[in-house]
Structure 1
Amino acid sequence: MPDTPSATRRSERARAAIIAAATELIREVPYAKLTVEAIAARAGVGKQTIYRWWPSKGAVVFDAMLELDSGPDGLALPNTGDIAADLRALLRGSIAALADPGFESFLRAMYIEIQQDPEIGTAYRERLLLPQRAAVADRLAAGVRSGELRPGLDLDLAIDLLLGPIQSRWSLGLGGLTESYADAALDAALAHLRA
């Protein structure tokens, strides 16, 4: 039997409430203590409603993160004609996102989930990581075409050189993620990208 318009609206409201509840709770509760029961209670729905749409708490949190992370410009990087300025904005923005406790809590949760749940790992790569890397690759390719970066540049390696140091320091809890660190990492990467 097809859904009625009022049932569809109720479903949309329930889904929005679940996403909102997951977003609130991931910022309030350590991820290990976050439960589907808590999300359901905060959203005012039954657990079965959550399990109708998501197989696990990790899947709910991932969808909440995707909704939080979808900005108006999508994943496109700016192209001001100055590759260093554009990449500096990217790296500084990455550090700012990692320093935001609300967003960091989502990322820490996803680090746990992608190690434990192959389906979430695949979804994370396909829906977030690979599109982000493609956006950076597009900007780097434009830099190669404009002559700002060297011909024949290995774009995957270039992305790793740009983002790897920041990601490594963050994931290992080494600290020191400042704008000056972003600038130093960019200078080191550009030495290779322009060589």
Structure 2
Amino acid sequence: MTDQRRPSAGVARRSETSRRAVLTAAFELAAEVGYAKLSIEGIAARAGVGKQTIYRWWPSKGAVLFDAFLMFTTGEPGEEGGGESVEEAALPDTGDVEADLKTVMFATVDELNDPRYDRTMRTLSIEIAHDADLAALYAERLNRPMRELKKRRLRAAQEAGQLAADLDLDVAVDLLWSPLLVRWLHREGPLTHEYAAALVETALGGMRP
């Protein structure tokens, strides 16, 4: 009879250690050299693994970098780790939709202003605009789940009578978050909590019953 054994705990730990080393290397290198000069060979050398190890888990450098971005910014571990995924998260719900939205927007401002993430996030934004496969990955694993979390919180406010019953929640999400991301991406002005608060207050002014 064939002896089918499951990988030992030691092998699993080594595999996860290697995987995290690859993601860390990709994130650091993207910030140092930019996407154009980022390569699977460079990531492998920095992580201390073989190229074949990387290709066993990811089809391209864009996919590696996207997983690295998720690990460092959302805590999502990917396929082998532990922790809370985007789908399992939730926006705060204290009953005060304005306060809750400001809390989330302030956290977004802080993340976008963090120099550890700035170049990598800008790199990913540019590549997503040019790479259809990476765009699909972004939509599936981050954009759509995050949009649903935002709509869920707005829907709760709608059901509580705090927002208009006929409000289009997709449009509401765009009104709240898109100006913030455009200002950051185009460097159109300072990205501050005051600006985010003004966005929330102005947008909600047109959304209330």
| TM-score when normalising by structure 1 | 0.91
Could you tell me which of 189, 192, 197 is aligned with 1:183? 197
Is the partner of 1:101 in helix, strand or coil?
Answer: coil
Aligned partner of 1:51 in structure 2 is 55
Quick one: distance in 2 between partners of 1:9 and 1:177?
A: 40
Aligned partner of 1:42 in structure 2 is 46
* Amino acid across the alignment from 2:58: W
- 1:84-163 aligned at under 5 Å gives the runs 84-163=98-177
Quick one: distance in 1 between partners of 2:16 and 2:207?
A: 47
Aligned partner of 2:80 in structure 1 is none
Note the alpha carbon deviations across 1:51-82, whole angstroms, 9 max, x for none.
22212111101011111233477531000111
Quick one: distance in 2 between partners of 1:187 and 1:175?
A: 19
* Amino acid across the alignment from 1:105: R
Quick one: distance in 2 between partners of 1:59 and 1:112?
A: 14
Aligned partner of 2:21 in structure 1 is 17
Structure 1 range deviating more: 70-79 or 17-26? 70-79
Deviation of 1:8 (Å):
4.1
- 1:49-88 aligned at under 5 Å gives the runs 49-71=53-75, 74-88=88-102
* Amino acid across the alignment from 2:208: R
Question: Unaligned regions of 5+ residues in structure 1, if any?
Answer: none
Deviation of 1:105 (Å):
2.6
Quick one: distance in 1 between partners of 2:7 and 2:172?
A: 51
Quick one: distance in 2 between partners of 1:42 and 1:3?
A: 30
Deviation of 1:90 (Å):
1.4
* Amino acid across the alignment from 1:162: L
Question: Unaligned regions of 5+ residues in structure 2, if any?
Answer: 76-82
Deviation of 1:191 (Å):
1.2
* Amino acid across the alignment from 2:72: L
Structure 1 range deviating more: 125-134 or 6-15? 6-15
| Count of aligned positions | 195
Is the partner of 1:193 in helix, strand or coil?
Answer: coil
Note the alpha carbon deviations across 1:108-138, whole angstroms, 9 max, x for none.
1221221222221111011101111111100
Deviation of 1:171 (Å):
1.6
Structure 1 or 2: more helix by fraction: 1
Residue 170 (structure 2) pairs with residue 166 (structure 1): no
Percent sequence identity over matched residues? 47
